[in-house]
Amino acid sequence: MAMFFSDTNLPDPTATKRSGIRYLAFGHILTLILMGFFVLPVFAQDPALPPTNLGMANMMDGVAGPPGLVFANYTQIYRTRRIMDGNGQALPTDLKINSIASINQLIYLTRIRFAGGNLAFTVIIPITQLTAEGSGPKPTVNPGVLGDPAIGIAVQWSDKKLFKHKFFHRFETTPTLPLGSYRSGYDINTSSHLYGLSAYHAFTFYFNNQFSLSGRNQINFNSHTLGTPEHAGTFYNGNYSLEHNITKSLRAELIGYYLTQIGEDSYQGDHGYFTGLQAVITSQERIMGYGPGLAILLNRGIMIEGKVLFENLARNRTEGMKSVLRIAIPLNL
């Protein structure tokens, strides 16, 4: 069974930048960080990064089974702990932007050979419910739940060897389309309202029959926010997992993820606009998460994975806790 999960639009925590205060709400099924702003002064809004895969796919991420069709669902609950500005300082607010997301993915691993591997295709559709809580003024939230869909094409290499050990890996590119729920009258929407293009390499390396290491390294490019001169910078994100067989069907993991924005956000091509406007060191976002996970491997390739992740080192984003349940089911049983 193909176990892979595409790179963009995952339900992710909300991110926040301040031009007054910007709130990026979590959304996108795939995992779906949503873009929204709550602006106090009347200034141009610092654009939030679109959603990406942060801790959604970890366990045996580079592994795929035999060719065929697989359905995967990722259910994520995210709760904000605090909101961090561009200087890495917590904002004086009790605002919480929380979310429940269901990311639905269909994967088709073909028998077509390409570059020594198997060609694969995937479609991701995110569904997300967002809420804003706090004692003070709250941003308005679009009640629409559809995130931006993504369509990916990949090459999967299975049963390879690296240093005489088992090595599975995959390369995928995924464009994201601005077709989710969006209305300019809302501060927070489930669509990022831009075009995105991501590329990643995922792998799983087996040290022996008991321990394995999985990772995903991804680069993301964004268009300007449609209808505006605002442009979120290019960014990197990665997932990491050290895995151990407890029994034949039960695996434990220590997992982590990291996101860092590479370039400053820009306004009409000016990359120093938002840092000057907000009086912060940088408009770039950053976040790190870590936590434990367990996976149950059932007959016929069914996999159930649960994990809890705690965030820190946030900059220009929210910082919180997320719980993720991942289920992968081959459809050609």
The percentage of residues in the chain with a pLDDT greater than 90, rounded to a whole number, is: 74
Asked if the structure places residue 8 within a domain, the reply is no
CATH code at position 35? 2.40.160.40
Asked if the structure places residue 2 within a domain, the reply is no
Structure tokens at 113: 């050979």
Mean pLDDT of 149-176: 96
Residue 34 has pLDDT above 50, yes or no: no
Q: How far apart are CA 220 and CA 10, in angstroms?
A: 13
Residue 174 has pLDDT above 90, yes or no: yes
pLDDT for 275 equals 83
Asked if the structure places residue 200 within a domain, the reply is yes
- Any idea what DSSP says for residue 300? G
Q: How far apart are CA 59 and CA 306, in angstroms?
A: 10
**Structural domain of residue 40, as residue ranges?**
15-330
pLDDT band per the 50, 70, 90 thresholds, residue 71: very high
pLDDT for 87 equals 86
Closest CA to 269 of 228, 230, 221, 226: 230
pLDDT for 322 equals 96
Cα separations (Å) of 194 from 49, 179, 190? 10, 9, 12
Number of independent structural domains in the chain: 1
Structure tokens at 215: 């990772």
- Longest CA span, the chain: 60
More confident: 321 or 4: 321
Residue 13 has pLDDT above 60, yes or no: no
Least confident of 28-32, 190-194, 205-209, 278-282: 28-32
Residue 333 burial (CB < 10 Å; 0-12/13-18/19+)?
A: exposed
Asked if the structure places residue 22 within a domain, the reply is yes
Residue 28 has pLDDT above 80, yes or no: no
Residue 5 has pLDDT above 50, yes or no: no
Asked if residues 288 and 257 have their Cβ atoms less than 8 Å apart, the reply is yes
Amino acid at 204: T
Asked if the structure places residue 3 within a domain, the reply is no
The pair phi, psi for residue 316, each rounded to 5°, is 60, 30
Residue 168 has pLDDT above 90, yes or no: yes
Asked if the structure places residue 4 within a domain, the reply is no
Residue 100 has pLDDT above 90, yes or no: yes
Least confident of 82-91, 161-170, 229-238: 82-91
Instruction: Give pLDDT tens digits for 146-158.
Output: 999 999 999 999 9
pLDDT for 270 equals 82
pLDDT band per the 50, 70, 90 thresholds, residue 39: very low
Asked if the structure places residue 295 within a domain, the reply is yes
pLDDT for 45 equals 55
Instruction: Give pLDDT tens digits for 119-138.
Output: 999 999 999 999 999 998 88
Which residue, chain included where needed, has tokens 């960080």?
33
pLDDT band per the 50, 70, 90 thresholds, residue 287: very high
Q: How far apart are CA 36 and CA 31, in angstroms?
A: 16
Asked if residues 126 and 10 have their Cβ atoms less than 8 Å apart, the reply is yes
Mean pLDDT of 166-179: 97
Residue 250 has pLDDT above 90, yes or no: yes
Mean pLDDT of 240-251: 96
Asked if the structure places residue 169 within a domain, the reply is yes
The percentage of residues in the chain with a pLDDT greater than 70, rounded to a whole number, is: 86
